């Protein structure tokens, strides 16, 4: 990352690496370099509403981290991105926080539906991540109505970490119950996201207008548009 930052600084004829160079280098390493894709105005607008949906839902929910950056600049396979980061290091996540995280993941899909009454394939990654998280809540964390039971299909391990015996398989009845609980978490998350998008449509529109104009909005400007900062963990 620092090598990439040094290259960026050299290109701008700087004598020192600045924080903006490190930020850009981190983005490049994590998500890939910026790509100038030719998009129609409608595609750009849909991307902006998608990312704004993530950001607005994430900002309004108590269990998610503050929004750090929102952009419609393409990187890697993504047409845009929304980044959040915690104010302090976190070592645990509660059930409520995980449910809010799922809702934020589905905020982009909710915005597409509310604004355009249409769905795009751009939400595929969000849906996959939301489903994986919901599955972990059910089978690993015991956070569903099925109770504190490990339902993951794993194998027993010995003291040295090697697998022993046959893999643990769920019955068809139990697997069906697991699937229902996973869908329930995802559906609940989407309903929350859709409700927040509908109630805050004016803020969403204002954010999109600015996003289309400047392409990338940092945390300070974002919070000027949508309102005050999210409460800290202690305030929660």
Q: Which of the residues are catalytic?
A: 51
Other CB atoms within 10 Å distance of the CB of residue 92: 5
Burial class (CB in 10 A: 0-12, 13-18, 19+), 73: middle
- What letters, b where the CB count within 10 A reaches 16 and e where it falls short, cover 154-183? eeeeeeeeeeeeeeeeeeeeeeebbeebbe
Instruction: Kindly give the residue spans of alpha helices, DSSP state H, lying in 117-231.
Output: 124-139, 172-199, 201-214, 219-226
Structure tokens at 132: 């994986």
Nearest to 166 by CA among 175, 153, 176, 178: 153
CA separation for the pair 90, 195 (Å, rounded): 28
Name every residue whose Cβ is closer than 8 Å to that of residue 37 and which is 6 or more positions away in sequence. Answer: 74, 79
Name every residue whose Cβ is closer than 8 Å to that of residue 233 and which is 6 or more positions away in sequence. Answer: 87, 88, 90
């Amino acid at each position: 990352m620092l090598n990439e930052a040094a290259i960026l600084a050299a290109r701008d004829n700087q004598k020192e690496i600045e924080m903006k160079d490190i930020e850009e280098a981190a983005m490049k390493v994590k998500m890939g370099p910026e790509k100038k894709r030719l998009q129609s105005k409608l595609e750009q607008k849909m991307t902006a509403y998608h990312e704004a949906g993530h950001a607005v839902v994430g900002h309004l929910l108590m269990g998610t981290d503050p929004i750090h950056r929102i952009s419609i600049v393409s990187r890697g396979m993504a047409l845009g991105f929304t980044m959040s980061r915690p104010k302090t290091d976190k070592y645990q996540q509660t059930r409520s926080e995980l449910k809010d995280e799922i809702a934020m993941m589905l905020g982009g899909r909710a915005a597409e539906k509310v604004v355009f009454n249409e769905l795009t394939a751009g939400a595929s990654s969000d849906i996959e991540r939301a489903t994986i998280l919901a599955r972990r809540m059910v089978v690993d964390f015991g956070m569903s109505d099925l109770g504190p039971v490990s339902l993951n299909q794993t194998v027993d391990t010995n003291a040295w970490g090697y697998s022993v015996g046959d893999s643990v398989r769920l019955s068809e009845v139990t697997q069906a119950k697991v699937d229902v609980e996973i869908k329930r978490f995802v559906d609940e998350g989407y309903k929350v996201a859709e409700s927040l998008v509908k109630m805050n449509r004016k803020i969403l529109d204002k954010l999109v207008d600015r996003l289309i104009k400047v392409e990338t909005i940092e945390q300070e400007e974002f919070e000027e548009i949508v309102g005050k900062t999210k409460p800290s963990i202690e305030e929660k």
